Amino acid sequence: MVRIYVEQVSERLLYVLDFVLKDRGLEYSVTNDELSFLESGGARLNYSEYALPGITHLRPASVLFDEDIRQYRIEKATFQGEECLSFDGVDDPLAAVFYVLSRYEEYIFSGTDEHDRFDMSQSVQVRFGWLEKVICDRWAESFVHFLRASSGFQLETVRLNLRVVPTFDIDNTYAHLLKEGPRRWGAVLKDYVKGDRERLAERKKVTAGIERDPYDTYALIEAIADSGFPVLIFWLLGDYRNFDRNVTFRDPRHQRLIRRMSNKCSIGIHPSYRSNENAFLLGTEKARLEEILGESVTCSRQHFLKLSLPSTYQRLITAGIRNDYTMGMADRIGFRAGTARSFFWFDLAKNSSTALRIHPFAYMDGTLNEYLHLTPEVSKQKISELFNEVRQFGGNFTFIWHNETINDRGKWTGWKDVLEYTLKLQEDE
């Protein structure tokens, strides 16, 4: 048991201590009763402004005790040999964990990209070179080491079993199949105008049943699940619009495929591009998937990784989502929330913890190929480095692929091997 004295018990503090101590198997208690604290035994920490005789002291920044959202003067500091954050001149690893884990800066800075996604160049992880580190776990481990060394107690932590978690987004179920009427003829006309004879011939063979649709890689995804991986699939069922271009959810063949995949994989909703500003669309799309599956849907990942805090997560909670897998980046690899562990979302706007569990991912296929323009071989090296970071500090190595990117065709030639390389990392454990 770790006993901690504070001048004020706050929800932010308890939230961080759960992540830093409880999630690592360490029990703790917090009190603002100075007398009872001084009379207690065991591992003790004075986390207040004032020193107490004979008690290990860590001066806190105000971050965990403020109730509003405000800007701090943030600088790089060092705590127990690990680079850390300083807030208004106070070096505080607990406040640092909260700042990154809660995505505090996303409430402050307004810069976004063309899809209204937070510009990570404003992040402290990018500023200080920490983005490819599970920096919150590093700070948590440093804090535990500090307690262990100062108290003389063992304080044995529990290690999480590392799991490789493959996830797939289905933005376009098929390249050619199930596209009828204006969509089909519009695509044909577009290929004629572009002079793309190869694609015209491909479409003709696919629709005639002579050749498999190039996006039909579902047998491969099923095989991954059959080999023991906990595969999750997020299906886009929004109405056809810009950025939402899947085939209709009404087609019975589409519905049969979704039900087939649900026999071996967990299926979640992939809320459409427009749904990020429209709670009605979110509820409608979730209801469509629930009707197809005949069961409640509680998992999601935003299409285009559109995540606006706090509104996106507040809408997901209202819609009945309990697990979200959006926490990551389209244009960078690494750990947006500074961890590979799942954690409960803290709503800074309401200054309270929630029941929405966040599952971060480390990389996405399109990030490596389309944003960073890496080769498959260089991508394997980057993936290995990310994996080793998670292996050292615990968590799930979660990543995103798409059904159309694992067909080894066109610009994705050679990339199926990158997916297979990632999966083999689990075998080496």
User: Could you tell me which residue, 226 or 184, shows the higher pLDDT?
Assistant: 226
Provide the pLDDT for residue 185: 47
pLDDT for residue 190: 67
Q: 400-417 pLDDT, tens per residue?
A: 999 999 999 999 999 999
Q: What is the pLDDT of residue 196?
A: 67
Q: What is the pLDDT of residues 370-385, one digit of tens each?
A: 999 999 999 999 999 9
Sheet of strand 266-269: strand arrangement: 343-347, 352-358, 323-324, 299-300, 266-269, 232-235, 163-170, 396-402, 363-364
Q: What's residue 286's pLDDT?
A: 98
Query: What's the pTM?
Result: 0.95
Rounded mean pLDDT, 45-70: 96
Q: Look at residue 160 in the predicted model and tell me its pLDDT.
A: 81
Q: If pLDDT is split at 50, 70 and 90, which confidence band does 150 have?
A: confident
What is the chain's Cα-based Rg? 24
- As a whole number, the mean pLDDT across the chain is 94
Arithmetic mean of pLDDT, 16-41: 95
Structure tokens at 52: 């107490």
Question: Residue 232: is its pLDDT beyond 90?
Answer: yes
In this prediction, what percent of the chain has a pLDDT beyond 90? 85
Determine whether 251 is exposed, middle or buried from the number of CB atoms within 10 Å of its CB (0-12, 13-18, 19+). Answer: middle
- Is the peptide bond preceding residue 310 cis, with omega within 30 degrees of 0? yes
- Reading the block at residue 394, the tokens are 């615990």
**Residues contacting 25, CB < 8 A, separation 6+:** 156, 157, 158
Please tell me which residue, 184 or 54, carries the higher pLDDT value: 54
Which residues does 121 contact at the CB level (< 8 Å), separation at least 6?
Answer: 111
At residue 158 the predicted structure's pLDDT band, cuts being 50, 70 and 90, is confident
Q: How confident is the model at residue 257 (pLDDT cuts 50, 70, 90)?
A: very high
pLDDT at residue 191 in the model:
61
Task: Tell me the average pLDDT across 222-248.
Answer: 96
Report the pLDDT value the prediction gives residue 153, as an integer from 0 to 100: 75
Q: Dihedral sign, CA of 301, 303, 308, 314?
A: negative
pLDDT for 327-348, tens place per residue?
A: 999 999 999 999 999 999 999 9
Mean pLDDT of 163-178: 95
| pLDDT score, position 416 | 97
- Kindly state the tokens that stand for 89: 């001149």
pLDDT tens digit string along 97-128?
A: 999 999 999 999 988 999 999 999 999 999 99
Q: What confidence score (pLDDT) does residue 386 get? A: 98
Instruction: Report, as an integer, the average pLDDT of 154-164.
Output: 85
Which pLDDT score, from 0 to 100, does residue 26 have? 93
CA distances from 246 to 177, 250, 285, 387 (A): 11, 11, 13, 32
Convert the pLDDT of each residue in 346-368 to its tens digit: 999 999 999 999 999 999 999 99
Q: What is the pLDDT of residue 25?
A: 94
Distances (CA, A) of 400 to 119, 167, 239, 397: 20, 5, 23, 10
Q: Which residue has the higher pLDDT, 238 or 202?
A: 238
Cα 421-426-427 angle, rounded to 5 deg: 90
Which residues are 364's β-sheet partners? 400
Q: What average pLDDT does range 136-151 have in this prediction?
A: 93
What is the per-residue pLDDT for 189?
Answer: 59
Mean pLDDT of 218-223: 98
Q: What pLDDT shows up at residue 159?
A: 81
108: how many CB neighbours lie within 10 A of its CB? 12
The answer to whether the CB of 375 falls within 8 A of the CB of 336 is no
Domain architecture of the chain: domains with CATH: 2-151 (no CATH), 163-175+214-427 (3.20.20.370)
